[in-house]
Chains A and B, each alone.
Chain A
Amino acid sequence: MLSGLINYTYSTLAIMKSYKMAWRNLWRNRRRTIITVASVFFAVFFALIMRSIQLGTYDYMFKNMIESYSGYIQVQNEEFWEDRIVDNAIEFPGEIRKKMLEIPNVKEIIPRFESFALASSGSRTKGVMVMGIDPEKEKLLSDVQRKLIKYRLSDNAVEELKKEDIPEDVKKNLELFKGFTYASDRTICIELGIKERDSGLVMPMIRKHALVENGYIEIGKPGALVGDRLATYLGLSKGDSIVLISQGYHGVSAAGIYQVEGILHLPAPDIDSRIVYLPVDICQELYSAPGLLTSVVLHIDKNDDTSIDQTLSSLDSKLDEPYRVLGWKEMNETIVNQMDADNKSGMIMIGILYLVIAFGVFGTVLMMTAERRREFGVLVSIGMQKTKLAAVMVYEMIFIGLLGILAGIAVALPSIIYGYYHPIRFSSNMARMWEDYGFEPVMAFMWIDKYFLWQSVVVGIIVIVAVLYPVRKIIKLKEVNALKA
């Protein structure tokens, strides 16, 4: 009977594929497999969510920085970047513009005239950034017009709204977001938690009490747009006057008084609290620099890293001194540096997590090997090749890793997809803290990207390292000793 059993086992072994055996082996000790898979799952899940939030938030912040201010690519006077003064403004004659537009990725050239001034209204004064823009062309990039505030939840508006017949939770949120401003119906609905079915009822009330009138600026007509935080500080609203005092081209004194045409809300607090937009020609007039620009922003078609690098290098080859080409990374060095530091710290955290999990996986492998020593001995004595046995072991570990990764992805994915479409917006204290550091208080998620692959690579490495031990044991196995175990 024993010989029959051995015969049977032998024949099945010969027929059965290694991976099939490995799969069955996994379920011989179901609990242990599940716990090990769970540990890998835990690490993968955490790592995915953390990475998604980190990368997504950087992406969001960069997009904000870029789209509300610097743009992806700028061309400036060589001197201007190092010394941001009006004296370093230059002309951008037609032939230079033509050269830039020859590059396929460059769609439009957006003029800018940037400088600093002391802004005052009444007795309050503040150093501000003055930005001369072409209001029409600017729509392609920072789209200033869409950032004009539409609703303001002033104390008064909140009081009035509370008297109206609106859902209770919206009322509660009103209190929380008192003093906030919104540029679109969508954002106000999200923040106040107005559900779609209620919006038909609530939005008219909000329009009635919180709507803000705003105009826009145009070329040739004096007028200014002011950041929300700056306007609050200077006590400005539409129709008020703002006085700008500064130093113009070659030391000429510059002073002007402009009517505020609109208040806008920029997501980056650092910019919002000190920006004044003027039409570019009015700005040139203020600084006595007709026809000069401090920089031009290029509106580009494709904005992925490779296209930008390509465009940068072809611009570099076409433009000579004194023109200088700058990419967004170079223009936003500080924030890139900050995000880089944050990114590294996040990676260290995940590294620690994986290290701990690796130990756990290794422990499991160790136990599996120890308890199956005798079994290995039997299998090898009845003629199973050691390489095949090792292959079974490798498959087992691969399965554990794979199950962990798949489970991690399966559970993390819905949250990531949901988060991608619904970024988390902080309120109250937390928001204040982020804003004090100059970031918009938003936590965004990154869409499925390379970071998914990285988790698999790390788990793969853990599995490979862990499996080396049993493979070595099997290769060095002495059947006689093993059978005695």
Chain B
Amino acid sequence: MITKTAWKNVWRSKVRSLVVISSVAVGIFAGVFSVAVMEGAMAQRLDDALNDELSHIQIANKNFRANNDLACFMENTDEMKQKIMTLDEVRSVSDRIIVVGMANSATKSSGVQINGINPDEEKHVLELDRKLKPGTGNYLDKSGRSNMAYIGEDLAKELNIIRYSVTKEVIDSLRVRDVPQKVINKLEPSLEVRFKNEKAFNRELKKVISKEEETKYGYIIKEESQTYRENSRMLLTFIDKDNYQTGAVFRIAGLFDIPNKMFESSQVFVLKDDLQRLTGLSDGEEHIITIRLKDVSSTRVVTDKLKEMFPEMEVLNWREIQPDLAMMEELAGIMYGMFMGIILAALAFGIVNTMLMVVLERTKELGMLAAIGMNRKKIFRMIMSESVFLSLVGGVFGMIFSKIVITLTAKHGINFSGYKEGFEAMGYSAHIYPHIGNDFFVIVTFLIIITGILSAIYPALKALKLDPADALRTE
């Protein structure tokens, strides 16, 4: 009965209620959608980190991580792997040799970490094989040619292995990708000119097209204009087992393309056999065992089991290897809560004002209700409910609207192409697919109800203080 009255009361002053409701709707929509964008970006980063870079658990010699020293390898890794596979939670394992060295092309060089892998095992632990940039070759193949390397697109750019030129075919594909003819015409003068790297090409682009055109189409033009010769060569140099400088020429099997540019420019993957031959390490002497679990949630349990199994080794899970990722995951919830909290606090001002108004303009009516015997508890509840209705109706509209927009944008993602460079330098993709779990909506609903209640306290207390006799006499 009281709730029904409260609901009817809400609609007595339609315009005023609608202003409050729409303010709550807009605030909640903006908040939830922003959170979904942030969450989408973070979830993607986490997925990428686990699928491309870290996997779930890694085991290494106790001294390896601190020193990155070739001599800090583990022995009998085959036996270790078999033991690990006996655990039910483990899906797959793989081992690697890791050396730090330099990658040199004819004109440039760059410091890298060289990973000697067994591609057949690695495919089940990480997804890098699926991140092959189309048209750049293949993933490593154990039965294929020796001395092949799988490197990141960014490293290829750094080593001037990827070059740029606008050819007739590039122009055609730009047309297909809806780049306006006006922009394409501006590229005519640089037709068939070869640029040795991205910076040189950037400079040329800046000269011929305007800033807006660059932010809009720059990345498409750059993407299409890349030229890359399969099987380009580079020289890898490093120190071998006996501390001698060694190295060999590797041909590039293919390029991988992931959002994390740091990883892309610093990691080189080669066949383990090749690296064993060059460093003098033998079978069973490896630096890192990477473990993929069937389910991420069992990470902690399995880490503990492995620590017990190999007390003399360093067993680290992804949370320990990259504490920033773990912390990001933990702090994200708090951050979203704070974000919504600030918005709701701002909304509360509007609600308090409206409810206060409600009480003041109904002084006489409230007095009457009290005089005919409605008890104070009921009056209090009525005002509370009215406030909760106001905020909840707005909140529900806001949430429905944000859910719709999130679903729509999640289909194709939102591309912040203008900030690609900055995002990717931190390992984030600039193409974000907004996403938020349903539990977040439940939490937001609770927060809205709490906001409604808190905002009504002051006005409701005001109503309780009314003396029925005085209240009845007011105009």
| Contact status B354-A82, CB under 8 Å | no
Q: Mark A191-223, 1 if CB is under 8 A from B, else 0.
A: 000000000000000000000000000000000
Chain B residues, CB < 8 A from A246: 109
Q: Which residue of B lies closest to A367 (CB)?
A: B357
- Could you list 17 examples of A-B contacts with CB < 8 Å? A35-B352, A36-B353, A83-B196, A118-B101, A333-B421, A337-B419, A337-B425, A341-B422, A356-B27, A356-B346, A357-B346, A359-B19, A359-B350, A366-B15, A366-B16, A432-B327, A438-B425
Task: Say whether A360 contacts B350, CB under 8 Å.
Answer: yes
Q: Is the CB of B108 within 8 A of A85?
A: yes
Give the size category of B's interface with A.
35 or more
Are B346's CB and A360's CB within 8 A?
Answer: yes
- With an 8 A cutoff between CB atoms, is B167 at the interface? no
How near does chain A come to B386, taking the closest CB pair, in angstroms?
15
Does B327 contact A429, Cβ atoms closer than 8 Å?
Answer: yes
In the complex, the answer to whether A46 meets B342 with C-beta atoms within 8 Å is: yes
A190 at the interface (CB under 8 A from B): no
Query: How many interface residues does A have (CB within 8 Å)?
Result: 61
The answer for the CA separation of A432 and B303 in the assembled complex, in Å, is 23
Q: Taking the complex as formed, is A116 at the interface, i.e. its CB lies under 8 A from any CB of chain B?
A: yes
B419–A116 contact, CB under 8 A?
no
In chain B, residues 1-29, which have Cβ atoms closer than 8 Å to a Cβ of chain A?
13, 15-16, 19-20, 22-23, 26-27
A38:B349 contact, CB within 8 angstroms: yes
Question: How far is B180's CA from A64's CA once the two chains are assembled, in angstroms?
Answer: 41
> B337 contacts the other chain (Cβ, under 8 Å)?
no
Shortest distance in angstroms between A375's beta carbon and chain B's nearest beta carbon? Answer: 13
Contact of A337 with B421 in the complex, beta carbons under 8 Å: yes
Counting CB contacts under 8 A, is A338 at the interface?
A: yes
In the complex with contacts A120-B239, A349-B339, A125-B101 CB distance below 8 A = yes
Name which of A36, A38, A85, A125 has the most chain B CB atoms within 10 A of its CB.
A125
- Taking a contact as CB atoms under 8 Å apart, the answer to whether A334 and B353 are in contact is no
Which one of B108, B343, B353 lies within 8 Å of A367 (CB-CB)? B353
How many Å from the CB of B53 to the closest CB on chain A?
13
Of B62-70, B275-283, B401-409, the segment with at least 4 beta carbons within 8 Å of chain A is B62-70
Residue among B34, B339, B352, B361 facing the most chain A CB atoms (10 A cut-off): B352
Rank and list the top 7 A-B pairs by shortest CB-CB distance, nearest first. A127-B111, A359-B23, A360-B350, A39-B349, A338-B422, A337-B422, A433-B324
In the bound complex, residues from chain B placing their C-beta under 8 Å from that of A42 are: 345-346, 349
CA separation between A335 and B419, bound complex, in Å? 10
**Judging by beta carbons under 8 Å apart, are B426 and A338 in contact?**
yes
Within 8 Å by CB of B100, from A126, A335, A349, A371, lies A126
Chain B residue with the shortest CB-CB distance to A79: B200
Q: B356: which A residues are within 8 A, CB to CB?
A: 31-32, 35
Find out whether the CB atom of A433 lies under 8 angstroms from the CB atom of B353. Answer: no
Q: Given A87, A120, A247, which contacts B104 in the complex, CB threshold below 8 Å?
A: A247
Q: Bound complex: CA of A277 vs CA of B100, how far in Å? A: 22
Q: How far is the CA of A38 from the CA of B324 in the complex (A)?
A: 38
Most buried by B among A31, A245, A335: A31
A48–chain B nearest beta-carbon distance, Å: 14
User: Cβ of B422 and Cβ of A125 under 8 Å apart?
Assistant: no
The answer, yes or no, to whether B245 is at the interface (CB within 8 Å) is yes
A449 shortest CB reach to chain B, Å = 23
Q: Which residues on the B side are within 8 Å of A430 (C-beta)?
A: 327
| Residues of A with C-beta under 8 A to B160 | 83
Q: Is B197 engaged at the interface, CB distance under 8 Å to the other chain? A: yes
Is A241 in contact with chain B by the CB < 8 A criterion?
A: no
- Contacting residues, chain B, for A83 (C-beta < 8 A): 107-108, 160, 196-197, 199-200
The contact of B102 among A127, A233, A352, A432, by CB within 8 Å, is A127
What residues of chain B lie closer than 8 Å to A35, measured between beta carbons? 349, 352-353, 356
Which residue in A85, A123, A352, A362 is a CB contact (below 8 Å) of B19? A362
Find chain B residues with CB under 8 A from A29 CB: 360
Is there contact, CB below 8 Å, between A341 and B323? no
Report whether B104 and A364 are in contact in the complex, using a CB–CB cutoff of 8 Å: no
Residues of B93-141 at the interface with A, using a CB-CB cut-off of 8 Å, are: 100-102, 104, 107-112
Q: Whole-angstrom distance between the alpha carbons of A357 and B27 in the complex?
A: 9
Chain B residues within an 8 Å CB radius of A82: 196-197, 199-200, 203
Q: Does B71 count as interface, using CB distance less than 8 angstroms? A: yes
Q: Of all chain A residues, which has the CB nearest B108?
A: A85
B34 near A352 (CB under 8 angstroms)? yes
A294–chain B nearest beta-carbon distance, Å: 14
Q: How far is the CA of A367 from the CA of B16 in the complex (A)?
A: 7
Residues of chain A contacted by B71 (CB below 8 angstroms): 123
- The residues of B that contact A335 with a CB separation of less than 8 Å are 422, 425
Encode contact with A along B48-64: 1 for CB under 8 Å, 0 otherwise: 00000000000000000
Residues on A with beta carbons closer than 8 Å to the beta carbon of B16 = 363, 366-367, 370
Q: Say yes or no: B197 contacts A125, CB within 8 Å.
A: no
**Chain A residues in 8 Å Cβ range of B328:** 433
Q: Which residue of B lies closest to A348 (CB)?
A: B34
Chain B residues whose CB sits within 8 angstroms of the CB of A46 once the complex forms: 342
Interchain CA distance A277-B270 in the complex, whole Å: 33
The verdict on A341 contacting B349 (CB below 8 Å), with A123-B243, A367-B16, A429-B323 known, is no
In contact, A123 and B70 (Cβ under 8 angstroms): yes
A418 an interface residue at 8 Å Cβ cutoff?
A: no
Cβ contact within 8 Å between A353 and B346? yes
- Cα–Cα, bound, A333→B243 (Å): 39
Q: A residues within 8 A CB of B353?
A: 32, 35-36, 39, 360, 363-364, 367
Q: B44 — which chain A residues lie within 8 A by C-beta? A: none
Residue among A46, A352, A355, A437 facing the most chain B CB atoms (10 A cut-off): A352
Minimum Cβ distance to chain A for residue B244 (Å): 11
* Residues of chain A with a CB closer than 8 A to B466's CB: none
Closest chain-B Cβ to A224's Cβ sits at a distance in Å of 17
Using A46-B342, A82-B203, A363-B19 as known contacts, say yes or no to A116 and B350 having CB atoms under 8 A apart.
Answer: no
Cβ contacts B411-430/A at 8 Å (1 or 0 each): 00000100101110110000
Expressed in whole angstroms, the minimum distance between the Cβ of A377 and any Cβ of chain B is 16
Besides the known contacts A83-B200, A338-B419, A366-B19, 15 further A-B residue pairs in the complex with CB atoms under 8 A apart: A32-B357, A38-B349, A82-B200, A123-B239, A126-B68, A126-B111, A127-B111, A338-B425, A340-B422, A352-B30, A363-B350, A363-B354, A366-B15, A432-B327, A433-B328
**Smallest distance from the beta carbon of A251 to chain B beta carbons, Å?**
10
Question: Residue on B with the closest CB to A37?
Answer: B349
Q: Within the complex, what minimum Cβ distance (angstroms) separates A371 from chain B?
A: 7
- Asked whether A177 is an interface residue with its Cβ less than 8 Å from the other chain, the reply is no
